[in-house]
Amino acid sequence: MLKRWLAAAAAVLAIAGGTVRLASADDHIRVSNAAPASAFFAALYLGIDKGIFKKYQLDVEPIDIFGPAKSQEAMTAGSVDFELGSGSELIYVAKGVKELAVASIVGPPTLVDLVVRKDGPIKTVADLKGKTISIISVGSLTEWLARELSRRQGWGSDGIKVQAVGSAAAQSAMLQTGQVDASIIEISSARILADKGEARRLISGRDIAPNFITHAIYASKAMIDTKPDVVKRFLAAWFETQTYMKTHKADGVAIIVKRLQIPDAVAASDYDTLMPDFSKDGKFSPAALKVLSQSFVQMGTLPSEPDMSKLYTEAFLPPPGK
């Protein structure tokens, strides 16, 4: 009897031990990054390196995917759980991708410039009518900005031609060889070109869209519906990472250098530009949402403005002060 009792007790302890291990195991999440060359998204890798996501019992698998269209394809296929993307990707939610924006991270697009050749014929924005601007990819923030600039000039969405080229390096090369007339490009690449005397900034992204949601975090509906606590923990870890990045400049610059492979001075300049524009609370600006809603119709991607309140949620944001 004693032997049977001891065996039963051992079995119970083994099961309990296994339960404890399972309960304490980190949740594995897949996070796609639609713009690997962005200083903003370097925060994800800093949070991983510093163990901040681990602190929230999250095992983060970062997945670099160039361009929002491909990133959204991955979301549709169930290959990713979260996406670091642009505010303009709310159009995909409106079109039925099973996800919601769960945090607005950066407002005006301060990390993007429109540049032209330094010795080229384009001197003002008015000179861009009918010209070709290189963008990263179709559906990206860079395309939205090109078309928004055209609309603001009164030329309609197609008053400026766009050419998707896939990377900042390709944009730089095509600008220098005259294959395009201008480029909407990350400011780190813009600064490198300017330092070489090869390009000059014509207008900043902030000037094109002062009311905007440049970057947002999206979560799959499956994650929201089945693991809402994971969504809360991911956002809590993200905002803690932002705070760390703001208060540890050396670490912030180092991760930007590592991710973007750019000179320290350029990374430091990117850092100084970005930090003030990180959202403190992740809330979605009504004015920015209105700009996006109108643009979906102006670009011909939707027949009428969608109900933007159905495309995002603020339910998972950390409480104020956390």
pLDDT at 277: 85
pLDDT at 7: 52
Taking only the tens place, the pLDDT of each residue in 123-142 is: 999 999 999 999 988 877 88
**Shared domain check, 229 and 189:** no
- Is 218 part of any domain? yes
**Shared domain check, 71 and 202:** no
Contacts of range 49-53, beta carbons closer than 8 Å, 24 or more positions apart: 49/255, 50/241, 50/244, 50/251, 52/237, 52/240, 52/241, 52/244, 53/234, 53/237, 53/241
pLDDT at 221: 97
**Shared domain check, 99 and 125:** no
**Shared domain check, 153 and 276:** no
Taking only the tens place, the pLDDT of each residue in 64-91 is: 887 788 888 999 999 999 999 989 899 9
**Shared domain check, 203 and 155:** yes
Contact predicate 155/162, CB 8 Å: no
Give the domain extent around 122.
112-208
**Shared domain check, 66 and 141:** no
- Is 170 part of any domain? yes
**Shared domain check, 230 and 82:** yes
**Shared domain check, 234 and 103:** yes
Say which CATH number the domain at 69 has. Answer: 3.40.190.10
**Shared domain check, 59 and 203:** no
- Is 3 part of any domain? no
**Shared domain check, 217 and 102:** yes
Contacts of range 120-128, beta carbons closer than 8 Å, 24 or more positions apart: 120/181, 122/181, 122/182, 122/202, 124/202, 125/149, 125/153, 125/202, 125/203, 126/153, 128/153, 128/160, 128/181, 128/182, 128/202
Contact predicate 103/217, CB 8 Å: yes
- Is 159 part of any domain? yes
Percent of the chain with pLDDT over 70: 92
| Most trustworthy range by pLDDT among 6-20, 63-77, 90-104, 153-167 | 90-104
pLDDT at 252: 95
